[in-house]
Chain A
Amino acid sequence: MKALIFSILGILTLQSASAQIDSTLLRRKPKDTTGNLLNMDAVYNRPFLSVARMPVALGGYAEANWQHLGTNGISEGHQFQMRRVSLFIASGISKRIKFLSEIEFEDGAKEISVEFAALDMEFHPLFNLRGGIVLNPIGAFNQNHDGPKWEFIDRPVAATELLPATWNNAGFGIYGKKFQKNWVFAYEAYLTNGFNDKIIDNKQGRTSLPAAKENTDRFEESFNGMPLITAKAAIRNSKIAEIGISYMGGVYNKFADDGITLDKKRRVDVVAIDMNATLPKLNTFINGEWAWVTVDVPTTYIQQYARKQQGGFIDLVQPIYKKALLGFEQSVISAACRLEYVDWNVGKFTATGGNIADNVFAIVPALSWRPNKQTVIRLNYKYCWQQDLLGNPPAKTAGFQAGFATYF
């Protein structure tokens, strides 16, 4: 925990904000690069800016892009998108109590959400409390989702359309960490509000954990009074790799109302593994994640809503030119490639015994230029094949995307 940039936030008195900010008062706290940080530390592993002696540190990131994609010869044309702007506000209330929040504005300001807003109390490296709106630690992307960390403009399909990134909920939990030589072991476990029956009753027409996010009441009211359990353990050797295994599960249906039993309790359970490693010598960064979802769907419902789903992605990032460029001292140019796959319906048709498709496969070669540590300019070419339920000839979507993401 000591390593976290956060503990440096010992600023004491509040100053009345002056009309104009004098930039010499702004101090940039770079993000931690000690190599001890895990995916689950992502919310704290961000560059923050402290303003003179204000007790809070500020930060944020933004991403914008252009794209021209076409599906089976039909294109939406040129699209310019400001996908999101996120603001972080962190404050070290005392040495071992801190508060961090992230407020996200998506697609202009069509969606404004409190992505994360939690109070942390540190007791012992292995035992700390966190409560508020937390990011459920399922897989790695959900917590480690800041645009500037990735070489790809689109978030992985498996993270946003299989798992519900960013998936946050009101709740409480514990977390801790242990260091030993090159090893770090860490865990997190939370009880939060959870899913609802939108996951099998939605406009997507398929079992969809992300559909549960349509219920924004989840920050104040649990759909069925049953907590969602999310737990993750991760282990990292600073010379080899990080591996995380996570679980999230709970009851998603309204099994009783007003004391009257309506249905049996139906569960949704998710298991995910994530790993990342940097190959020695080559410096190739490999980062991947895979998740399995099982949902107890009533047998009298349509097979379109799956009982099992799975999917994941793997990113390969190869730095190819790491020298000062155009006056940017820390410039790095990388070539990258993402492979991703999601099967939204793992199973067979009862009517024919044939495979239920409903899947997508995509390959995304990319070039990125990081003029400094905070900013990435990226060019992606995406090609994806999406099959409907019946496995008819796939819809092919492809095209270029270019844009930037930066912390500020």
Chain B
Amino acid sequence: MKKSFLLLTIGISLVLSCQKTEPSIPIDNNTLDGPVDGLTTSEKLQFLRGDAAFNNQIFTKETGLGPLFVASSCGSCHAGDGKGHPFTTLTRFGQTDSSGNKFLATGAPQLQNCAIPGYEPEQVPAGASSSKFTPPANTGMGYLDAVSDDDIVAMADPNDANGDGISGVANWISLKSYLIPRTGSLVNNGRHIGRFGKKSGAYDLLQQTAGAYNQDMGITSTYEPFDTYSGVAIAPEVSNQTLSDVVFYLKTLKAPVQRNGGNTAVIKGKELFNQINCAKCHIPELKTGYSPIGALNKKTFYPYTDLLLHDMGSGLDDGYTEGNAKTYEWRTPALWGLGLSKNSQGGTYYLLHDGRATSIEQAILLHGGEATDSRNRYNGLSDAEKQHLIQFLESL
């Protein structure tokens, strides 16, 4: 009798303390998912819908996957909203200069290297140059999206007027017909500034999203109605509502939060980052212009990018490009969240556009072109200084 009483008491007290016996939430700063602060309830609900579509909706043959595709969900390439893995690294091919892609008839620009059973996946046609793209993180996209064109152009220095060897340029692209330009969007010869994608080939998050559904998964929408296998416009396989939820989700994913910012090594590293001119391209602080989402309206944030293209030298020139970018030009990637990359890349870093660098140091050493001077300065640092710089980058 006593024993059963004891068991009962143990049972009840365990039950009452259940939260304590469950795994704790990882410290917010250590994860990339989650919304920005200050969303309204209806915004939070839309965020949740977008989250479900982005992370949980795995496409199958019945729901429209393929026939040609690269992966079956957004989340399989952008795990936990972080950077991706060589396993889902995609290949683009066929364009070498601003005269456009010469291989559209043979499946360019994107290689769909997988197919549902019964279909043959694509191969890069003979004579086409190609480049690999490792999936980038998707955090803080809403902030980057809300930077005004004026601010981007102000950072550009196409003719290197200041003589520092660094001359960022914008990729002026033609706007897809379904896109509505942001208020204040600049136009140059009928072209607009692209800011998403490693070549800045996409104008905004709708283009990125509709394009990803179509090119990465073989899912058509009213925006991108053409099936990548047959080339025929088919009924939409994802609704405009879902697309808009996913775009909203991307916009309102929080920005990565710096960790150990007060650490002395990290503070020293940050100074070095400025001293050796890393910060000339990886610009620490930007601000948003007007945004209809209150949480993003006129905010200051710390992405470490200028959203501009830079000549990165022949080492990083794959001979493939998009829009008006040169084959050796790449958009400065944001460095926020860099230290968390391994948590979504299976424990190893895969950095630079194609994941060829497996450590931060390797990524720095592969900088060339406009970044040559900066790289040489890095080489000139003492071992301790290099450590501080890397610790700083890992804290982002």
Binding site for B on A (CB under 8 A): 68-75, 197, 200-205, 253, 262-263, 266, 298, 300-304, 321, 325-326, 333, 349, 351-352, 354, 357, 367, 369, 379, 381, 388-393, 396-400, 402
Contacts and interface: CB of A to CB of B under 8 A. Distances in A.
Q: Is the interface of A mostly helix, strand, loop or mixed?
A: loop
A389 B26 CA distance: 20
Contact of A390 (B71, B72, B87): B87
B211 interface: no
A60 B85 CA distance: 50
B154 interface: no
Interface of B: 1, 3-4, 7, 11, 14-15, 18-19, 21-26, 58, 60-62, 65, 69, 71-73, 76, 79-80, 85-87, 89, 114-121, 343-348
A369 B71 CA distance: 48
A392 B121 contact: no
Contacts of A349: 85-87
A367 B7 contact: yes
B347 A205 contact: no
Contact of A352 (B7, B18, B85, B344): B85
Contacts of A398: 21-23
Contacts of B348: 352, 354
Contacts of A69: 22
A72 B18 contact: no
A295 to B, nearest CB: 12
Contacts of A304: 71-72, 76
A203 B26 contact: no
Contacts of B118: 262-263
Contacts of A303: 87
A402 B114 contact: no
Contacts of A266: 117
26 contacts: A70-B18, A71-B23, A72-B25, A73-B26, A200-B117, A201-B62, A204-B58, A253-B117, A263-B118, A301-B117, A304-B71, A321-B3, A349-B86, A351-B85, A352-B85, A367-B11, A379-B11, A381-B21, A389-B76, A389-B79, A389-B87, A392-B79, A392-B343, A392-B344, A393-B343, A398-B23
A277 to B, nearest CB: 27
Contact of A391 (B15, B58, B119, B346): B346
Nearest to B56: A203
A70 B117 contact: no
B15 A400 contact: yes
A180 B68 CA distance: 60
B86 A263 contact: no
Interface centre among B7, B23, B72, B76, by most A CB within 10 Å?
A: B23
Contacts, number: 125
A325 B1 CA distance: 7
Nearest to A355: B346
A197 B58 CA distance: 16
List the 7 shortest-distance A-B pairs measured between CB atoms, nearest first: A73-B25, A70-B22, A390-B346, A396-B23, A351-B86, A205-B58, A68-B18
A393 B79 CA distance: 11
A195 to B, nearest CB: 14
Contacts of A197: 61, 117
Contact of A73 (B24, B73, B86): B24
A397 B65 CA distance: 31
Nearest to B358: A352
A388 B58 CA distance: 14
B86 A205 contact: no
Nearest to A395: B23
Contact of A399 (B18, B61, B115, B121): B18
A75 B18 CA distance: 10
A133 B58 CA distance: 32
B41 to A, nearest CB: 18
Contacts of B79: 388-390, 392
A349 B118 CA distance: 23
B347 A392 contact: yes
Contacts of A367: 7, 11
Contacts of A203: 58, 60
A356 B65 CA distance: 23
B61 A201 contact: yes
A70 B79 CA distance: 20
A70 B60 contact: no
A134 B73 CA distance: 36
A367 B9 CA distance: 14
Contacts of B60: 201-203
A75 B22 contact: yes
Contacts of A397: 23
A168 B26 CA distance: 41
Contacts of B7: 333, 367, 369
